[in-house]
Amino acid sequence: MATTLLLFCILASLFLISHAQTCSNYTFSSNRAFTSCTDLPHLQAHLHWNYIPSTGKLEIAYRANQTSNGWVAWAINPTDTGMVGSQALVAFQNANGTMTVYPTPITSYSPSMLPGTLSFQVSNISAEYSNKEMMIFADVGPLDNGTVVNLVWQAGSSVTNNVPQVHSMSMPNLHSMGALNFLSD
């Protein structure tokens, strides 16, 4: 009986560990590698990055739990904290299963969520959906504010006619923001 209980505990622990992905133990299927990461405090989201001091650019991977009919967004707000003023990358899965990802500036509390131009450069933008996670990859910058930035991230449950719809007003959604130093965090 004790041996069976011990075996059960070991197997249960291994199952929980294998399903409790944090940024530090995550391996990207696309052979991408990032030197730094942080588990964001809301919406089961994670940010991975490489900061390149010589260019002031970032290679980022943002990933968050999401259903196939929802959307995710990751943003830098170069002028303030919070949503308005954020320069966002948004991703969602189309009806045919392909991912759409594009930049969009957030200029109000009722943004269009349509593609637009950001206040900083974005290149090599792509997205994936795998294992109930949406991922956004991009090269960002250089950033005018240096290595300390205000981050905002978000998730919504629906997309209509290829336009992400309003996100929930629950506490996790309203608190999904913070500051990050790409050199020390």
Q: What is the 3-state secondary structure (H, E, C) of 14-71?
A: HHHHHHCCCHHHCCCCCCCCCCEEEECCCCCEEEEEEEECCCCEEEEEEEEECCCCCE
For the chain, domains (ranges, CATH) are: 32-181 (2.60.40.1210)
Q: What is the percent of the chain where pLDDT is above 90?
A: 39
Q: In 3D, which of 176, 183, 184, 185 has the Cα closest to residue 81?
A: 176
Residue that is written with structure tokens 């090269």 in the block: 139
pLDDT of residue 18: 35
Instruction: Name the pLDDT band for 168 (thresholds 50, 70, 90).
Output: low
The residues near 154 (Cβ < 8 Å, ≥ 6 apart) are 43, 72, 73, 74, 75, 83, 88, 167, 173, 176
pLDDT at 46 over 60: yes
What is the tens place of the pLDDT at every residue in 10-20? Answer: 333 333 333 44
Q: The pTM is what?
A: 0.83
Report how far residue 75's alpha carbon sits from residue 180's, in angstroms, rounded to the nearest whole number: 12
